[in-house]
Amino acid sequence: MTRKSKTILSTLTILMIFTACSDRTTVCDEKIKSGASAFQVYQNAVERGFSGSVLVRYRGDILINDAAGFADRESAIPNSTDTISTMGSITKQYTGALILELQQAGLLSVNDTLADHFSNVPLDKVDISIHQLLTHSAGFPVSLGADVQPIGRDEYLELAWSTPLLFEPGADYKYSNTGYSIAAAVAEIVTGQSYEVVLNERILTPASIYDTGYVIPDWSDRVIAKGYSGSSTVEAIRLPWAEDGPYWNLRGNGGLLTTTNDMLKWHDALAGGSVLSASSVETLQERHVATNQNGEYYGYGWITEDTPVGDLHWHNGSNGHHFASMLRFDDEDLVVVMLANELNEASNCLPANLARASSPGLADWGGH
C-alpha cells in the first residue's frame, strides 16, 4: 500500500524528549535517485549528517553493515558496527515476546486481568487485560513521569492505580509506555525475578543475543553512543538507575541497549522460532488494534501495515536524541535496522529509503 509519510512534530513527539515513545518525528518526503543502490542511499545520508550504525539484509545477502559519525564527539570516538546504543521503544516487542513466552510456560495468559496478579487494583481497572496493556488499549496515559524519576515498582503501581484512565478499557487506542511497564511488573511477579533477569534467561540468551540489556551485559569496555540533537547531548544510560536497571517510568517500555547485529539476531530468532512458537510469533505481530495512523495496526510491540511486497512489521523509538528503527518485510526477506545517535532528517528518512533501494518491489513505495 502506498502512503505519504506523516506527522512532523506531534504531541507524542514532544513527549519523546522525556519518555521512550514510538512515532514519526519528521516529515520525510525525500525522493531517492532512481536505480540508486542501498549503499549509495546510505552514503547520501552520511553526507547529510547521519550518525550511527546500519544493517541491511536482503534475501540472505548483507547489503550494508556499516557505521558513520561519532559515538562521542567530544572525545572523537567514532561509531562502529559494535557501538552500543539505545533502542528506545523497540524494547516493547521484547516485553511482548516475554509475556508470550510466559504464556507458553503456563505462568500467565494474555487474557488475564490486573486483578489476577495484583491485590489492590481499583474497580475501574480490575478488568484490564494484559492484552490491552500490550496493545495500548487499556486507557492508561502515555507516561506517569520522567524516565529518570527514581520510582520503584510498588510505588509506580500505586501511581498507576490512582491515575484516571483516558477511556474505558478496550474502547480506543492511545500509545502508552505505562501499559508496558505494568506488563513488565506482571512478568516479575509471576517469575519472582527482576524484569531484565527473566528477559535475559527466557528471550535473549536462547536467541544468542548477548549485547542487549540494561545492566546484565558488561558495558565497561564497550563504546556507548551519546545522543545528539542540535547543541543538546544525552547519555544512552540516563542515570539515575536502580541497581537492577532503570526506574519504572522506563523499565519494560524503553531504554534497552543493543547493537545492530543483535537486532538482526532478534529478527532471526522470531523468523526461526528459536524463542517463541509460530503461533506466539503470529500473536506478537498480529493486527490487534488500529492505531491513529490510517492502515496501521498494533500487535505486541510491533506495528503492521501493507506494502507492495506484503506485510511490513516495524517499530521505532527515540529519547529525542537517539533514534532507532527496525523494518521487517518477511515476505520479501528484507530486514533494515538502524541505531542513530543524532536525531535529524537523515536518520528519519534512512530506514524507508534503504528499503526502497534494496527491493525492486518497494521502489515506488510511499514509505511509512
How do residues 122-142 score in pLDDT, each as one tens digit? Answer: 999 999 999 999 999 999 999
Whether the pLDDT of residue 306 is over 60: the answer is yes
Give buried/exposed letters for 141-156 (b at 16+ CB in 10 A, else e): bbbbbebeeebebeeb
- pLDDT score at 190: 98
Q: What is the pLDDT confidence band of residue 32, given thresholds at 50, 70 and 90?
A: confident
CB count within 10 Å of CB 240 equals: 10
Beta pairing partners, 305: 312
- DSSP-derived 3-state class of residue 281: helix
The percent of residues above 70 in pLDDT, for the chain, comes to: 91
Q: Establish if 5 belongs to a structural domain.
A: no
The CATH number of residue 217's host domain is 3.40.710.10
Grid coordinates representing 283?
Answer: 500473536
The percent of residues above 90 in pLDDT, for the chain, comes to: 88
Averaged pLDDT, 347-351: 97
Q: Establish if 3 belongs to a structural domain.
A: no
Q: What is the mean pLDDT of the chain?
A: 92
Q: What is the pLDDT confidence band of residue 219, given thresholds at 50, 70 and 90?
A: very high
> Are the beta carbons of 130 and 138 closer than 8 angstroms?
no
CB count within 10 Å of CB 331 equals: 11
CB count within 10 Å of CB 310 equals: 12
Q: How many domains does the chain have?
A: 1
List pLDDT tens digits, range 230-272: 999 999 998 899 999 999 999 999 999 999 999 999 999 999 9
Closest-CA residue to 112 (of 124, 137, 130): 130
Structural domain of residue 165, as residue ranges?
Answer: 11-362
- pLDDT score at 368: 65
The terminus-to-terminus CA distance of the chain in angstroms comes to: 10
Averaged pLDDT, 295-307: 97
Residue written as grid cell 513466552: 101
Cα–Cα distance, 121 to 108 (Å, whole number): 18
Q: Establish if 2 belongs to a structural domain.
A: no
- pLDDT score at 239: 86
Whether the pLDDT of residue 9 is over 60: the answer is no
Q: Establish if 4 belongs to a structural domain.
A: no
Q: Establish if 196 belongs to a structural domain.
A: yes
Give buried/exposed letters for 45-80 (b at 16+ CB in 10 A, else e): bbeeebbbbbbbbbeeeebbebbbbbbbeeeeeebe
Q: Establish if 339 belongs to a structural domain.
A: yes
Whether the pLDDT of residue 209 is over 70: the answer is yes
Q: What is the pLDDT confidence band of residue 29, given thresholds at 50, 70 and 90?
A: low
Residue written as grid cell 510511499: 366
Grid coordinates representing 3?
Answer: 502512503
Q: Establish if 251 belongs to a structural domain.
A: yes
Note the pTM of the prediction, 2 decimals: 0.93
Grid coordinates representing 65?
Answer: 553493515
Grid coordinates representing 306?
Answer: 501493507
| The amino acid at 19 | T
Averaged pLDDT, 341-361: 97
Q: Establish if 22 belongs to a structural domain.
A: yes
